[in-house]
Amino acid sequence: MIYPSVILSWLVLSITASPITQSQSSGLSVPIRKYVNVTSGYNLINAGQSRARSFRDRTTSRHVSDKKRQAVPVVNEAITYIAEVAVGADNQTFQLLVDTGSSNTWVGANASYTYVPSSSSVWTDDIVIVDYGSGYFFGYEYYDTVALSNDLVIKNQSIGVADFQQGFTSMDGILGIGPVDLTDGTILGALAPVTTVPTVSDNLFTQGAISTEVVGVSFVPTTGSADDPEGELIFGDVGGSARYTGQITYTPKETDYWGITQSISYGGAEIMASAIGVVDTGTTLNYIPTDAFNAYINSTGGIFDQATGLYEITEEQYNSLDDLVFTIGGVDFPLTPNAQIWPRSLNENIGGEEGKIYLAAVATDPIEDLNFINGYVFLERYFSIFDNSNSRIGFAATPYTNATSN
């Protein structure tokens, strides 16, 4: 079985971004299963844009009580990671989409495979409603045992059981592992929580399954090959893991989501001044502000491709690409030329042509606290650490940082 999770953040501590050296101890390591689910370039882009709009909606309305339900797109037409999660005393298994951008865990998206209460199930009579931008689910809340692995078993976890859903096709539900604040307003009923409900990540820590609220996320570049390496999540102390090299640079967590402050430069020139945005495992491409994106496209010579919705460059232009540099916590995290392009082996998946080269970046309209999204394209090149105990996010180089598999 494949069992992932991610530790969320709800403590607010004041820290200073700084690198640390690796320790020799390690946490609990679990693999995650990768699926390539791209049907077109436009679906890929639209999914990310929908997600960005939903993040933006919550950011601009977070002080309005009836607008607090999280809003992220249901289907990421892209590269996804699925967890096989066991629920209840009978260990009924569900294939759940792993999402750091939402925080409710629920099952029942597949009408042919429904949740069956067992001796460990407790019905609360509360209603769960979660909006996901391009869809939503409505159902009832239970408390039950949820097993992410033999070592990561949660007692009395709040789960939603869908009575109606819209927008799900290839999964049984969602394993929500974003910050707990995103559950605010999603449980309705006479006995419902006034604000938030503990997520799977909260309960893993409070029930003693992990000793510190930290998770390391390791993705790898996607080549389309059947033997592509899978990703991995590490719970607890990430020190000593072979999934990263050198030092970890930490920076404070910003916003209700896993947000950070960064700047972006290309060819030695800053194209985005220091601003706040989101690090998101559920977004595939990198989304950068329109002005910064236009400066990047003008420098690379990219031409809009009508078939895919992305920008195409020639082989000669690819050979002349500079690094696209993300500066976080005073440290540069460059995306090499190969890391800036869509995997050429997957061109057909986005409606592109064999041998062509497409840039894996998209423009987005910036607002306060949501100026960019660092998606899978960035995270597949750097090991990321979501540290709830210290309210910070970390990054480190990996063996794939300079890979040329694209």
What is the sign of the dihedral through the CA atoms of 116, 122, 124 and 129?
negative
* Residue 269 identity (one-letter amino acid): A
What does the alpha-carbon distance between residue 291 and residue 201 come to, in Å, rounded to a whole number?
Answer: 37
Whether the Cβ atoms of residue 365 and residue 376 lie closer than 8 Å to each other: no
Rounded to whole angstroms, how far apart are CA atoms 394 and 241? 14
Residues 6+ apart with CB under 8 A from 326: 262, 263, 264, 332, 333, 334, 335, 374, 378
Q: Which of 57, 99, 202, 387 is catalytic?
A: 99
- Dist. CA 277–CA 393, nearest whole Å: 12
Active-site option among 144, 181, 280, 305 = 280
Count the Cβ atoms, other than its own, within 10 Å of residue 353. 12
Contacts of 233 (CB under 8 A, 6+ apart): 4, 5, 6, 29, 30, 32, 215, 216, 217, 218
Q: Is 225 exposed, middle or buried (0-12, 13-18, 19+ CB in 10 A)?
A: exposed
d(C-alpha 15, C-alpha 365), whole Å: 29
Q: Is 322 assigned a catalytic role?
A: no
323 is catalytic: no
Instruction: Identify the CA nearest to 280 among candidates 154, 98, 89.
Output: 98
119 C-beta neighbours (distance < 10 Å), count: 8
Q: Which helix (H) or strand (E) holds 291?
A: helix 290-300
Q: Compute the distance between CA of residue 1 and CA of residue 5 in angstroms, rounded to an integer.
A: 13
Strands (E), 177-323: 187-188, 214-218, 231-235, 245-252, 259-266, 269-279, 286-289, 303-304, 311-313
Burial of 223 (0-12, 13-18, 19+ CB in 10 A): middle
351: left (phi over 0), alpha (psi -120 to 50) or beta: left
- Contact present, 160 and 128 (Cβ < 8 Å): yes
Q: Give strand pairing partners of 363.
A: 288
Count of CB atoms situated within 10 Å of the CB of 1: 15
Q: Which positions are annotated as active-site residues?
A: 99, 280
